[in-house]
Amino acid sequence: MVPPIPPEASKEIEFIKGLVARRFPVYDVRVTYDVVEFFVRTDSETLEQNFDELREEMAQHNYIPMIVYDKGEHIITVAKKPTTKYRSTNVNLVMLAITLFTTIFAGTLEWGGFENVPNKDLFAPTTILMGTLTFAVPLMAILGVHELSHYFAARRRKVAASLPFFIPSIPPLGTFGAFISLRDPIPNKKTLLEIGVAGPLAGFLLTIPIGILGLILTNDAAKLAPANIPPGGGLAVVFPLMYSWLEYLVPVKGDFLIHPTAFAAWVGFLVTALNLLPVGQLDGGHVARALLGSNAKYLSWATIAVLVGLGLSGLYLGWLLFAVIILFLGVRHPPPLNDMTKLDLKRKALGVATFVVLIIAFVPIPLVSLTPTYTFEMTNIGSTNATMAPGESHTFSVLVNNTGNAFNDIEFTVDPNAFGWTAAFKEHHQNDSAFASKYLVSLNSSQNVTIDVNVQSSSTITFGTNSTVAIRGTSQNSTSTVQVIAYNVTIVSPAFTFWIVNDGLTIAPGAWGNVTVQVNNTGTVESNVTLNANGTLNATGKQQLVDAWLVVDGQNSTGPLNVTVAGQGNATFHVQVYVSPPATAGANTVLVETLYHGAKLQTLAISINVS
pLDDT for 377-408, tens place per residue? 999 999 999 988 877 788 999 999 999 999 99
* Cα(588)–Cα(544) distance, integer angstroms: 8
pLDDT in tens, 75-86: 999 999 887 776
For 449-507, the three-class secondary structure string (H helix, E strand, C coil) is EEEEEEEECCCCCCCCCEEEEEEEEEECCCCCCEEEEEEEEEECCCCEEEEECCCCEEE
Residue 539 pLDDT: 43
CATH code matching the domain that covers 7-80, chosen among 2.40.128, 3.30.1360, 3.40.50, 1.10.357: 3.30.1360
- pLDDT bracket for residue 545 (50, 70, 90): low
Mean residue pLDDT across the chain: 87
Q: What is the rounded average pLDDT of the residues 600-604?
A: 85
Long-range contacts of 123-131 (CB under 8 A, 24+ apart): 128/104, 131/104, 131/106, 131/107, 131/260
* Cα(247)–Cα(216) distance, integer angstroms: 10
- Give the closest residue to 189 by CA, choosing from 291, 276, 279: 291
Burial of 228 (0-12, 13-18, 19+ CB in 10 A): middle
Residue 395 pLDDT: 93
pLDDT in tens, 18-44: 999 999 999 999 988 788 999 999 988
| Residue pair 207/265 in contact by the 8 Å Cβ criterion | yes
pLDDT in tens, 214-252: 999 999 998 888 888 888 888 788 999 999 899 999 998
Residue 474 pLDDT: 95
Q: At residue 45, does pLDDT exceed 70? A: yes
CATH code matching the domain that covers 376-491, chosen among 3.50.50.60, 3.30.410.40, 3.40.50.720, 2.60.40.10: 2.60.40.10
Residue 76 pLDDT: 93
Residue 7 pLDDT: 60
CATH number of 496-610: 2.60.40.10
Non-local (6+) Cβ contacts of 318 within 8 A are: 311, 366, 367
Q: What is the rounded average pLDDT of the residues 276-299?
A: 91
- Give the closest residue to 473 by CA, choosing from 483, 464, 465, 463: 483
Instruction: Tell me if 7-80 shares its fold with 376-491.
Output: no
pTM: 0.71
pLDDT more than 70, % of the chain: 94
* Cα(261)–Cα(267) distance, integer angstroms: 10
The torsion angle over the Cα atoms of residues 14, 19, 22 and 25, rounded to 10 degrees, is -60
Domain edges within the chain: 7-80, 89-370, 376-491, 496-610
Position 347, amino acid: R
Residue 540 pLDDT: 41
Q: At residue 586, does pLDDT exceed 60? A: yes
Residue 201 pLDDT: 94
Which helix (H) or strand (E) covers residue 310, if one does? helix 296-312
Q: At residue 8, does pLDDT exceed 80? A: no
- Give the closest residue to 494 by CA, choosing from 565, 561, 562: 565
For 80-129, the three-class secondary structure string (H helix, E strand, C coil) is ECCCCCCCCHHHHHHHHHHHHHHHHHHHHHHHHHHHCCCHHHCCCHHHHH
CB atoms within 10 A of CB 535: 13
- pLDDT bracket for residue 330 (50, 70, 90): confident
Residue 1 pLDDT: 45
